[in-house]
Amino acid sequence: MEIEIISFGKIAEFVSNQKIDIAETTDTDNLKIHLETLFPELKAIKYKFALNNQLVQANSAIEQNDILAIMPPFSGG
Amino acid sequence: MSAERYNRQIILKGFGEAAQQQLLKAKVLVIGAGGLGCPALQYLAAAGVGHLGIVDDDTVSLSNLHRQILFTTPDIGKLKTEVAAKRLQEMNPQIGIVTHPIRLQKGNILDILSRYDYILDGTDNFESRYLINDACAILSKPLIFAAVSGFEGQLAIFNAADNLAGSTNYRDIFPVPPDKGEIPNCAENGVLGVLPGIIGTMAAAETIKLITKTGEPLRNKILNYNLLTHQQYIINISQSSDYVLPKSVAEFLNMEYQDTCEAPHGYEEIDTIALSKLREQESVILIDVREKHEVPVLDKQVFTQVPMSELNAFITKGFSQKHVVLICQHGIRSVAAAETLQEKFGNSKKIYSLKGGIVKSRDYFMRP
């Protein structure tokens, strides 16, 4: 299954915006594990998923062509 | 109120006299008169927000001026709140401006925030952001949140219910602050001056929209803005149950809001990437605390040699640099040195120890 990834801030330095084949992964909990394997730097930073513009607060099913945003907190001013 | 001053927005279809009156009655507190706060304050004052509060305990410094556009070169060393209030009052003598030249803490924030209707967070650290978020949640004050990182910005409105759902707050997105070093700040990472200009101006626009019920303010939404591509991405925020928010003043006063950007012990262990960035700062001293016979020998023009045995004498003599980076062979003695300096200088200097020392970063020190 292919989805689109959009990332922000420091995360964009190691996860570029891309279409990615997530193989057999079908929910956000497993996608987190999958992405942290592909991009180990993710483990060292706080971030939040949003699936199709909705913040992910609980494990959610993923469908083909979904858009997953990976957002870290910003504090600068 | 002089109608002529606000004529161009009063005649605007969808705004008008009623909206102008709402601005006049509004009490807005801007926290942080920095890169975000300066443009936000300028537009809020110009637009005729009747009561503006400014919180900042800092003074103007030279490295502020590329983005903090209320300040001029002769203002260096002056209190930001005083300079900002004077400039804004000259621009619009019809509004009331109150300065709070203090650092917000658990003990004073509820009192100050309770005097205002809308809070705009333009601070530059997670400690303040979580403190402000929680205080606004307790007081049910709408919070306009603006932040930048690199070439990107985030903008959101918290504690303001929309028609569909209740209200959300920052902890619904990020339940707890990041650990030290997880997210670089502007001082370490740099920022193009115009970025907080854009995001701060957008924060002023959201504040005006919220006050006057114009358009669709970013209630329960967070906007991610990229300066390099002008791409904007809005994420809808839903409520989470995965965090602890103080429910009463007593609980609030028991919360921990230590500065997560600094280690609890008051100095920071850094790697060579952070070291490279620090070396670009204006006021840095790099101190090699190894004994004089140790190898490799570092460039004495760059690395001031102060063996541990001479450290106390060196500290007593004093030095002017604000950032102090301590380096040794393995990063162990430099931690001890950092603790010694911390005891002496407290928070008046920023103290760093190179983690793992020269041995771990041999390539960095040995390159020509």
The pLDDT score that the predictor gives to residue B261 is: 41
Does the structure show a pLDDT above 90 at B336?
Answer: no
Nearest residue in chain A measured CA to CA from B190 = A76
Structural domains of chain B, ranges and CATH numbers in brackets: 7-253 (3.40.50.720), 268-366 (3.40.250.10)
Among B18-32, B71-85, B105-119, B310-324, the minimum mean pLDDT is found in B310-324
- Secondary structure class of B144 (helix, strand, coil): strand
Q: How far is A22 from chain B (nearest CA, A)?
A: 22
Give the mean pLDDT of B327-342: 89
Are the Cβ atoms of B146 and A77 closer than 8 angstroms? yes
The pLDDT score that the predictor gives to residue B267 is: 83
Locate all alpha helices (DSSP H) within chain B, ordered by sequence. Answer: 7-10, 16-25, 37-47, 80-91, 106-113, 126-139, 170-173, 186-189, 194-212, 249-253, 272-279, 311-317, 333-345, 357-360, 362-366
Alpha-carbon gap, residue B23 to B1, rounded angstroms? 11
pLDDT in tens, B191-216: 899 999 999 999 999 999 999 999 99
Q: How far is B111 from chain A (nearest CA, A)?
A: 24
The pLDDT score that the predictor gives to residue B306 is: 94
The pLDDT score that the predictor gives to residue B368 is: 61
Maximum Cα–Cα distance for chain A, whole Å? 41
Are the Cβ atoms of B185 and A76 closer than 8 angstroms? yes
pLDDT in tens, B110-160: 999 999 999 999 999 999 999 999 999 999 999 999 999 999 999 999 999
The pLDDT score that the predictor gives to residue B342 is: 83
The pLDDT score that the predictor gives to residue B186 is: 62
Nearest to B178 among A12, A46, A77 (CB): A46
The pLDDT score that the predictor gives to residue B162 is: 81
Closest CA to B158 of B147, B174, B169: B169
Specify whether the CB–CB gap between B247 and B330 falls below 8 A: no
For chains A and B, count residue pairs whose Cβ atoms are closer than 8 Å: 103
Question: Which position has the token pair 């030279």?
Answer: B62
Confidence tier at B263 by pLDDT (50, 70, 90): very low
Confidence tier at B187 by pLDDT (50, 70, 90): low
Are the Cβ atoms of B32 and A53 closer than 8 angstroms? no
Does the structure show a pLDDT above 80 at A54?
Answer: yes
Are the Cβ atoms of B152 and A8 closer than 8 angstroms? yes
Specify whether the CB–CB gap between B194 and B135 falls below 8 A: no
Alpha-carbon gap, residue A45 to A32, rounded angstroms? 13
- A48 CB near a chain B CB, below 8 Å? yes
Are the Cβ atoms of A48 and B174 closer than 8 angstroms? yes
- A29 CB near a chain B CB, below 8 Å? no
Are the Cβ atoms of B240 and A76 closer than 8 angstroms? no
The pLDDT score that the predictor gives to residue B260 is: 41
Interacting residues of B352 by C-beta distance below 8 A, sequence separation 6+: B267, B268, B269, B270, B274, B275, B278, B323, B324, B325, B326, B338
Q: Which of B131, B173, B236 to mutate to test the interface with A (most CBs of A within 10 A)?
A: B173
Does the structure show a pLDDT above 60 at A11?
Answer: yes
Q: Is the ipTM of this complex over 0.85?
A: yes
Specify whether the CB–CB gap between A11 and A47 falls below 8 A: yes
The pLDDT score that the predictor gives to residue B210 is: 98
- Whole-number mean pLDDT of chain A? 96
Alpha-carbon gap, residue A7 to A9, rounded angstroms? 7
Nearest residue in chain A measured CA to CA from B224 = A8
Peptide bond into B296 cis (omega under 30): yes
Give the mean pLDDT of B233-244: 92
Alpha-carbon gap, residue A28 to A40, rounded angstroms? 17
Are the Cβ atoms of B123 and A77 closer than 8 angstroms? yes
CA B273 vs CA A55, A71, B250: distances in Å: 32, 23, 42
Does the structure show a pLDDT above 80 at B220?
Answer: yes
Does the structure show a pLDDT above 90 at B4?
Answer: yes
Element (H, E) at B53: strand B51-55
Nearest to A9 among B129, B149, B261 (CB): B149
Specify whether the CB–CB gap between A57 and B239 falls below 8 A: yes
Share of chain B above pLDDT 70, in %: 95
Mark which residues 3-22 of A lie under 8 Å from B by CB.
6, 8-10, 12
CATH of domain A2-71: 3.10.20.30
- A24 CB near a chain B CB, below 8 Å? no
pLDDT in tens, B68-112: 999 999 999 999 999 999 999 999 999 999 999 999 999 999 999
Backbone torsions φ then ψ of A23, nearest 5 degrees: 55, -125
Element (H, E) at A32: helix A28-38
The pLDDT score that the predictor gives to residue B259 is: 52
Alpha-carbon gap, residue B12 to B321, rounded angstroms? 53
Nearest to B149 among A50, A54, A74 (CB): A74
Are the Cβ atoms of B238 and A55 closer than 8 angstroms? yes
The pLDDT score that the predictor gives to residue B305 is: 94
Listed by start position, the domains of chain A span: 2-71
**More confident: B307 or B242:** B307
Nearest to A77 among B34, B150, B242 (CB): B34
Burial B162-198 (b: 16+ CB within 10 A, else e): beeeebbbbbbbbeebbebbbbbbbbbbebbeebbbb
The pLDDT score that the predictor gives to residue B163 is: 72
Among B11-15, B177-181, B293-297, B330-334, the minimum mean pLDDT is found in B177-181
The pLDDT score that the predictor gives to residue B206 is: 98
Are the Cβ atoms of A48 and B153 closer than 8 angstroms? no
